[in-house]
Structure formats: structure tokens, C-alpha cells
Structure 1
Amino acid sequence: MKNATREALDILSRLIAFPSISSASNVDISEFVDTHLRSLGFDTELTTYVDNRGVRKANIVAKRMPDGAGGTPDAGLAYFCHTDVVPAQNWVGPDPDSPGDAFTATLAHDRVYGRGACDMKGSLVAFLAAIAQVPRSSQKHPLWVVCTADEETGFQGARHLVESSTAYREIVAAQPVAIIGEPTELGVVHAHKGITGFRIISRGRAAHSSTAEGINANVAMVPMLQKIAELNERTLREPRYQDRRFDPPTLSWNFGFTDHGTAINITAPKSEAWVSLRTMPEVDGSDLIDEARRHAETLGLEFRPLVGCDPIWVDANAPCVQTMCELAGVTPTTKCYATDGGLFGELNQRLVCGPGNIAQAHTADEWISIEQIEKGIELYRRSITQWC
């Protein structure tokens, strides 16, 4: 095993050990990454905010400028990742008979198992290892590393970065190539869908169902659910709500509801429905959302929009995409998931490319292969050399 691989696996193990699920603080892991980036010659901006649940979160923007004369502050390369992970209930790891701890990295079958190994701490360590192979003295253009919080739960970290970070403004001014390091098996994704949605609330009054004192919140919700189902059918049937450049080409209208019921003999005091949809560059479903809002209002229901992110679309023939494809030996593709890269619309040269397979993300045995880490280090090294 190469020294660079061993060092990367050591750092990955240390990152996995931080239980940075989105409901908890990511400040500790951010401080660790911040210190490591400083050791690689970066100046860093670590900013914090308090999320919607009152938990303190952190973003990092790190910059390494060319060393000495002959460099330029423009263009360059910016790598984006997130440090939060999804929960790890029902973890099985590499051995279901001996699950172990999701936040203790386990090496087995030439893979690293652990929550976040694939999505996306493995990508981060690959980029950090690549940086270590490119001396600052060889740089002609700036190099950035950006780590955000809350990517898994509504992109609040990326939103805070865009709205509040002075260092991010410098990236926008420089317009570097921006690599979103989500797992693509090192394929180059030039476009992905966005995500949006809404929540509808019906309020009633709890009482024993044998009396006339209660108001069942589900009664008003039923016609709303019928409307939601009708709108879903239209997204599947009408071509204007589809874009054949994606697979599936639809808005992927998804919905559900809960009535918070506590017992079969108590009327439901509250009923909630939710809808999410995957927007595309020319199909955002806004008319469907407006129709749902108007219908909710006629039923006296509360309508709450959900904040998501825009799709990414950079032309497949754009120079940044074509160059990255040449470095990776692939052709560009589109994907139907969303990343917080959808919040960075001021950056004109975005693409998604990272080690690991998205099929392993969020699973009960999440893993990334050592081969993917090694290939990721090499591709990222070539990318840094190309643009910096």
C-alpha cells in the first residue's frame, strides 16, 4: 500500500470517528479539518452559525495562494464538500453478525466501512492527499477547499456560506473551476436536478371519538391529498413537466402524510402532508406548487414552502467539463439527485466528481473502496495541476 494511501486512510478513520450527523454539531470535525488545511499552507475562514434546531454548526473556506511572484489571484480550482452525515441507526457494517460502531472505521474486503466513508469524507481525504502532492511553490493560481454543514438536511450550511462568507465572495470574484466532490465513481456530472417542496398542515381538536367535542384534522386533509395525487399524475403524464436529458425525466413528485394520532379513539388534532419534487433547468413545477397552495387556501389549510436548491446545468461541451472528462477518461453525464452545489449558482464552472459510488451512501454498511480513494487522489492531483 502506498504511503499516500496509508496517510489518507488514517485521516479518513479520524474523520469517521467524528459523529457529525446533521442533527449534531459539526464544529469538532471542522476544527480538525481547519487545522489540517493550515498545515498544508492554507489560510482559513471558519465561521459558525446556529441552525434551526439551535445547534452550532461550522463552515470552512480555505485558500492557498501561489507562493511568490508570477502567480495570479484569478481562476484556479475550488473543491466543495460537506462534513455532516446521515444517522446510523441499524448499522451492520461489513459483518451483520458483529456490527460494531458506525463511527469506528473498519477495513475489510479492500474497503473502508463507516458512516460518511462514501458520503463524503472519503472524497475529502482524497482531495487533502492530492493537495499534499502538489507543492505550493508550483502553484500559479489559487486553490480553495470549502467544507459546509447541513448538506443532508436542507443545505443550511451552504446557504449561510453564500449569504455571510467574505471568503466565498472572493471565490465568486475569481470564478475558478468548482468541483463538488460527491461520490460519482469519478465520473463527471455536468448537471443534476434541484429539489423543492412544501408542507400542508390541517389543525383539528383532540377529543374522545365517542363524543362530538373533537375535530378530526384528517377530514380537511383528505381532499388536499386527492389534489396532491392528481398533480402527481400530471407530472407523469404531461410532457411539459418532463426533461428527457435526465433519467427519470420527471419531477419525481413524492409525498406522504401523518396525523400524529395517539389512539384509535381520539380524534386527530393535527394532520400534515408533505411534497418534494426534483426540479430541472427548464421544468421547475412552480405552477403545480401554486395550484396546490391555492387549493390548500380554499380548504383553510396552512401552506409552508420548503427551501431546497436549484439544479445545476453546465453545458456538457463547456471547457471545464471537457477538460475534467479528459483527465478522468470519461464522458459527461447528468444525475437526478441534488447537492448543495445547487446553491452556488454564482459560480459558472461547476461540476460534480468524486470517489465512491452513491449506491453505498446512507446505507447500513456504508463503505468506499481503497481503489476509489487511490484513483480519487490521482485524479484530484491532476485537477489541481491542471487549474492551479
Structure 2
Amino acid sequence: MQPSSSKDKGRATHRLFEPSPDDLRLIVLDHLCHNSFTNTARAFARETSVKHLDADGDEIMPPSESGGSGGTVSRRVDDEYPDLEPRLMAGEMRRAIRMHLLSGRIDDATALLNNYFPSVLSAHSTAPPPPTSPDKLPYLPATSVDPVHLALNLRIQAFIESARTVPLPYPPTPSADDDAEMHTLFRTANTDESNAELLRRAHGLYKDAECLPDPSERKLYIDELHHVGGLIAYPVPENSPTAVYLSQERREAVADQIEAAILYRTGQTPVSKPELSTRYTQVLWTLLHELKVKAPPRSNWPPGVASLPGFKSLAQSDGTKAAGGEAAPTKKPPPDSEAEILPEFDLHAFLDAPPS
């Protein structure tokens, strides 16, 4: 990999403080793609793509192979955002997998993973290469992305769903409780047969956990299976001390881990660029505030920045008029005044602030 030159870094710094309209479009598009808002992302890319105008201000529409303008617009979007459609398709698959997991359909989610993201559950998966762009950071996932752990977690969740006696619909509806009461309990039709199947599944899970090479991981999973296996002991586990394993929060935790693994294996970041920038700004400004760093002179602020939420006005200009029409005296705070110290970053105040 070629080292980045000082010219590249200077260009990146310039774009950071003076982003072009295209940079801002890419930030919005990244947010839409990352959160799988596929239809909105396509519409946004289509409406914000560069249009070529003639002398009269009318858009120049080259002849389309299909005979209409739709193909032209589609080709224009493809030219400007060549990786848009593959990323949107991957996002749709991520969303479908997440919906299956949140709905308790573990086998369906596993099938999609094996078809579209096989590296997530493959024992031969390798870590993705480090980012080559100087403005990208390596993704360090907060949860395990080891395919062995993920496969075992999915099988444990499938066992939990099999032990369920009262359905847990997702997304919940106003009549979900009524539907749950009227629904036939899953294990009351043939308790002996269903319990035998659960015991067989539990035995297989124990065998897989005992094959883990790391002793600490092996102990962790075996302890987990001891607790999860308690679901078999209750005719209606939803009314037992083990009900916590049947909660929607448990499904969400598994879905979050699987989605993080997909993003990791496909070389994507766990959060969108706007969220990453917000987190970075929050930490940076909090640190500057704690260190009591003073704000730079307003003449050194980036172009377009006239005020900051939570930042006290240091002084009014000599030309500011008071209520009586006379020039108000300029008031300058002492050198060590709190007004000069950078405030903590308040995202809500920043979003609600009027335009400069």
C-alpha cells in the first residue's frame, strides 16, 4: 500500500472544513444506505444527480436505449454512484436477516447468511483487509465475530425459540396480547415429543460447546447452556424464572451481533458517517472543555460558522446599537473568563440552532 502524501492529507483537510455539495450528498447517501432505506436512497440519488442543461436551462436528455428518460436517469445515477446498487442490495439482505432474527425465524436468517454473506459463518473466514483510504479507520467490533461463536449463538437462539410456548410476534401489534392468549401453546399438543426434541437439541449444543478450544469460552458457553436448558423444566417457561431468555431483548442482542459481523466481514463501518462524526465531535469537544481550552478568535473560525450552540458571545461589535439608539459599549470578558472556554457539544442544541 502506498503511503499517503502530504498533498493528499492537505486535500482531505480542506474538504473537511469546506465540504463541497457532492461531499454533503455522499454523507446523506451513506446514512440512507447504512440504515437500509433503499427506496429513499434511490430517490435521493436520482433527484440530486448532476444534470446537464442547455442554453435555455432545460435538461439535456440523451437518447435512451429503452426509448424513454428512465434509462437515462438510471445510467446517470450509476455513473455517479457506481457502488450504490450493490450496497443497497446488501443492505436489503441485512434488513431481511435482521427481521428474521427479530421474529424468531432463526433457520430463515441462517439460510440468508449462508447465501449472501457466507463469510460470516464460515470457519475459514479471515479478517477483512485494513482500510486503504487515509480518512477511514479500522472497524473494531464490540462483540465477537468469530464464525464458531456466531453459529453457536444462532443455534442457542433456535433452541430458545423451539422452547417457546407463547408466541412473541414482531413487530408487536395492538392485539398482540390477545393473539398470544388465543394462540395454542406450542408445546401442549404433544409435550413428550416436543420435549424429546428439545433434549436432543440441548445435547447437540453441549457437544459443540465442549469442542471450543479456549477453556474460558468453553466454560462461558456451558454455563449459558445450563441456564438456557432450564426452559425445558417448565410447562410454560414464559411464567418461569427463565423467561428472560424468551424476551425480545434477547432477539435484538443476537440480531445486533449478526449485523455487526456482516458489516465487519464486508469491510463496512458499524455506524454511518453522520453518526461517526457526531460521536467524534462529542468526544473531542468534551475533552477540550474538560481541559479548559479556549476558543480561537472568530477570525480563525471556518467559513460559514457564525455561532456555536452553548458558546457565549465574547463581545458585541462597536456598531451594535442599544435600545435607545446609541452605540452599546463593547464588553470584553476577562482573559480567563468561562465565556472563552469551549462549551461541551450539545447535539440537540446544535440541530435546533437557527442557520448562521
TM-score bracket for this pair, using the shorter chain length: under 0.3
Structure in which a larger fraction of residues adopt strand: 1
- Higher relative contact order structure (alpha carbons within 8 Å, sequence separation ≥ 6): 1
Of structures 1 and 2, the larger Rg is shown by 2
Structure in which a larger fraction of residues adopt helix: 2
**TM-score in terms of structure 2 length:** 0.21
